[in-house]
Amino acid sequence: MTTASATALVLDLAGTFAFALNGALTAVRAARLDIVGVITLGMITALGGGILRDVLLGALPPSTFSDWRYLVVAAVGGLVAFGLSRQLERLATPITVFDALGLSLFAVTGAGKALALGAGVGQSILLGAITAVGGGTIRDVLVRRIPTVLRSELYAIPALVGAAIVVVPARFGLGGLVWALVGAGVCLAIRLLGVRFRLEAPHPPGGKSDGDAPAS
């Protein structure tokens, strides 16, 4: 394994762990599920984005299933979150932070994998964003929430920005770890600032999102 691919693997597993914590805590907090539901939702949140990416790239079976490390990291993340849920449940912040970390790491690793498999610039940026938002979208559908990617102020946009920061330099031969870290950092910063200050993208004239309201 080269240094580059080892680094990509570490970032990808870190994103997997962050999303597993997020999904499992969401199961505890939002849907009050039992241990099987908690670990299942943690794993689906952690692995869903990468599976979507690999299906869209035609890279099947998904790396999740050909590389057992993803399964183990996702399951351990779900177990850890279950064990710590009493401590973490009172705090809304960890759920948001783990989600933002997973979003940022998957945006850059997803885009990097798409590039490595020969996708074009635009497709790689989009696939990075799909990897980043995919697991959380499946999570939200399963617990009957309108997905964050549809209703949140800044969620798809930082993922697209983070992916572009990896893809565009690579196009000019400037690949490597530094751009991945910059991309993830910028994505994380935009996302957390968006949450903190509730920055919002423009709404259609006359209408304003009320976030959690059910569609009629």
Q: Which of 66, 60, 26, 61 is nearest to 43 (CA)?
A: 26
Does residue 155 touch its own copies according to CB under 8 A?
Answer: yes
User: Rule CB under 8 A: is residue 10 a binding residue for its own copies?
Assistant: no
The least distance separating its own copies from the CB of residue 17, rounded to whole angstroms, comes to 18
Contact 123, 130 (CB under 8 A): no
Query: Is the link from the previous residue into 205 a cis peptide, with omega within 30 of 0?
Result: no
Six token digits for residue 177: 């770890």
Q: Is 31 in the site for its own copies (CB under 8 A)?
A: yes
Q: How far, in Å, CA of 51 to CA of 73, rounded?
A: 15
Stretch that binds its own copies, among 8-16, 104-112, 123-131, 166-174 (CB under 8 A): 123-131
214 binds its own copies (CB under 8 A): yes
- Dihedral over alpha carbons 177, 100, 44, 66 (to 10 degrees): 0
Residues numbered 160-199 forming contacts with its own copies, rule: CB under 8 A: none
Task: Tell me which residues touch its own copies (CB under 8 A).
Answer: 27-28, 30-38, 40-41, 51, 55-58, 60-62, 65, 68, 71, 82, 85-86, 89, 119-120, 122-123, 126-127, 137, 141-147, 149-151, 153-157, 200-210, 212-216
